Structures are given as C-alpha cells and as structure tokens.
Amino acid sequence: MFRAHDSEFLVPCDGSFRVADAPTKPGTKRRRRNRKRLEQAIEKLDVLQRALYAGDRHAVLLIFQGMDAAGKDSTIRSVMQGINPAGCQVVSFKKPSSEELDHDFLWRTSRMLPERGRIGIFNRSQYEEVLVVRVHPQILESQHLPDALDRQALWEQRFDSIRDQERHLARNGTVILKFWLNVSKDEQRARFLRRLDDEKRHWKFNPGDVRERAFWDDYMHAYEAALNATSRPWAPWYAIPADDKPFMRATIAEIIAATLSAIGLSYPQPSPGDKAKFDASRALLADPDG
C-alpha cells in the first residue's frame, strides 16, 4: 500500500486534528504563483495519468468533501482539466434514491468505484453518512435500518465500515486521497451573496444551503470526528484551506501529482513474444506491397 504524501495540510492519524486549528486561508496570497503551480502540477498529472491508464495496475480514488460553496465543483474542473477524459470519471452524490436507501450505506458509492487504470472522483461521498446524517439524525428514519440497531454506536460502526473498506481497496491497488475543502463561514456567506448578485450564478443558489448555516458548529464537530476517525496512511485526509481558490486548487493538484509519482507508475513492457510480433508487423509495414 502507498503512504500519504507529507504535507502541512495532512490530517494526522493519531486523533489530534482540531478544526479550530486548521487554517481556511494560506499565509500569503500570490495568485500568479498559484496559477503557475497549478499549470506545472497539471502537466505532471497528464504524464502520470497516461502511465496509470497504460499500466492498468492501480486505480485512483479522489474524494472531495466540504460545506456548500467550498469550491468542490470548480476545483475538480480546474485540477482535472488536463486529464484524458477516457481515463477519468466524476460522480456527484446527491440525495439518495429509494433504491439506494434499500441498500447499506456504502452500496451507492461502492458500485461507482474506479477500475484499474482510471481516476475516479467523488464529489461528496459515503462520508455524507457520517456528516449530514449525523447533523440531521432524523434522516436515519428513511434508511430502513433494523429496529435493534444501537443508534448510540452507529457513528463509530460506520467509521469502522469505512476504514475496513478503504484498507481493503488500498491493499488491492486503489490509491485513495481525501480532501476536505475548509472554507470559513464568512467566506461561504460572501460566495452565497455573489451567487445572488450574479444572474448567471442563480442556478447554483439553493435557499436550503443558507438554512444549513445554522448548523455550522454541528458540521464542524462532525467533520472533526470523521477526519480523526478515518485519516490513515493508506487513505489520508488533507484539510485544505479553501478561502483562496487558486491556492486550494494548486495545492490539491500538487498533492495528487506527488502521490502518483511516488507509487512507481510505468508503462507495461512487452514480452519476447510480443517483440517478435512487433518485428514481424514492422517488416510487413516496411514492404510497399504489404
């Protein structure tokens, strides 16, 4: 299994992470440098993704979580803009369907996991089940859970299930990187107002998102618990400052590129038999009458 790329934003695995100590913005703003950082990281990702696709030994799963208006959609679009779409898939998880509610909470995300050679991106994920559902436990009533289920132990049990699945995936070649886009409450408010002031952004505005601001502290508690419980060397969380989008995008792209560089991706080498067939094909193509 791979090991987490060292970063100042890596969530430690010892349970010591505190949301209150996690920055929402970088120390300095250098937008020009951030654009260059992003461009350079995307160039590396393009090369690495080709080797990943050709080698067909690893899958990559990128999980993006964050409060509304944290920048999940735009970050995914910016970071993956140089990637061959044939080797990448993005899944956005919304409110569960009736079919999804008739399965265990990992079912709907499990069936969308990327196959070997591909990069899978989850915009929201199974972690919604220990975040929004924890903040609004009344949602559990629609999940058809057994009556005998211990509701007090539910969240720790779900953490166990998530950890077990991620370790299984990592053992079998899936590289897992999880990004919490840590936006401040003030910046979220400013972004909501910009959506209201710009007619082209009205489609992104949902009054329900504003109502959820009343539960901000509950969400921060849920994030802190989830990140502490599930950040592991083989499935690390990164708490990325999200108030400055250019910095956030460049930082995420660099972490992905560094991680893929470290796992030793390579193109498959032809066997002696393959080489013999190549030589025969070359000879046929060299013959004008071939």
**Residue 132's pLDDT band (boundaries 50, 70, 90)?**
very high
Helix (H) or strand (E) holding 238: strand 237-241
Query: Comparing C-alpha atoms, which of 202, 191, 183 is closest to residue 240?
Result: 183
Alpha carbon separation from 261 to 3, 79, 137 (Å, rounded): 12, 16, 41
Task: Look at residue 31 in the predicted model and tell me its pLDDT.
Answer: 66
Structure tokens given for 178: 């999880």
Q: CATH top-level class for 19-286?
A: alpha beta
Residue 200 in this model has a pLDDT that exceeds 80: no
Report domain extents, the chain.
19-286
**Residue 147's pLDDT band (boundaries 50, 70, 90)?**
confident
Task: Look at residue 124 in the predicted model and tell me its pLDDT.
Answer: 97
Task: Look at residue 29 in the predicted model and tell me its pLDDT.
Answer: 61
Residue 286 in this model has a pLDDT that exceeds 70: yes
Residue 5 in this model has a pLDDT that exceeds 80: no
Task: Look at residue 175 in the predicted model and tell me its pLDDT.
Answer: 98
Please compute, for residue 103, the number of CA atoms within 13 A of its CA located in the half-sphere on the CB side. 12
Residue 290 in this model has a pLDDT that exceeds 70: no
* 100 close to 69: Cβ distance less than 8 angstroms: no
Task: Give start and end residues of each alpha helix (H) in 25-138.
Answer: 31-55, 72-79, 98-101, 107-110, 132-135
B/e letters for 226-247, b = 16+ CB within 10 Å, e = fewer, are bbbbbbbebbbbbbbbbbbbbb
Task: Look at residue 109 in the predicted model and tell me its pLDDT.
Answer: 98
* 177 close to 238: Cβ distance less than 8 angstroms: yes
Residue 276 in this model has a pLDDT that exceeds 90: yes
Q: What is the mean pLDDT of residues 123-143?
A: 96
CB atoms within 10 A of CB 85: 8
**Residue 25's pLDDT band (boundaries 50, 70, 90)?**
very high
pLDDT per residue as tens digits for the range 93-104: 999 999 999 999
Cβ within 8 Å of residue 233, ≥6 positions away: 1, 3, 4, 13
Residue 47 in this model has a pLDDT that exceeds 90: yes
Residue 284 in this model has a pLDDT that exceeds 80: yes
**Residue 231's pLDDT band (boundaries 50, 70, 90)?**
very high
Task: Look at residue 3 in the predicted model and tell me its pLDDT.
Answer: 67
* 11 close to 231: Cβ distance less than 8 angstroms: yes
- The 3-state DSSP class for residue 232 equals strand
Task: Look at residue 102 in the predicted model and tell me its pLDDT.
Answer: 95
Residue 35 in this model has a pLDDT that exceeds 70: yes
Q: What is the mean pLDDT of residues 115-123?
A: 98
**Pick the residue with more confidence: 32 or 80?**
80
Helix (H) or strand (E) holding 182: strand 174-182
**Pick the residue with more confidence: 97 or 199?**
97
26, 30, 35, 37: CA torsion to nearest 10 = -70
**Ramachandran angles phi, psi of 109, nearest 5°:** -85, -35
Residue 204 in this model has a pLDDT that exceeds 90: no
Q: What is the mean pLDDT of residues 240-257?
A: 97
Residue 126 in this model has a pLDDT that exceeds 90: yes
pLDDT per residue as tens digits for the range 65-81: 999 999 999 999 999 98
Cβ within 8 Å of residue 155, ≥6 positions away: 130, 134, 225
Q: What is the mean pLDDT of the chain?
A: 93
* 272 close to 43: Cβ distance less than 8 angstroms: no
Please give the DSSP secondary-structure letter assigned to residue 49: H
Cβ within 8 Å of residue 164, ≥6 positions away: none
Q: What is the mean pLDDT of residues 204-227?
A: 93
Residue 174 in this model has a pLDDT that exceeds 80: yes
Structure tokens given for 190: 């400013």
Q: What is the mean pLDDT of residues 158-177?
A: 98
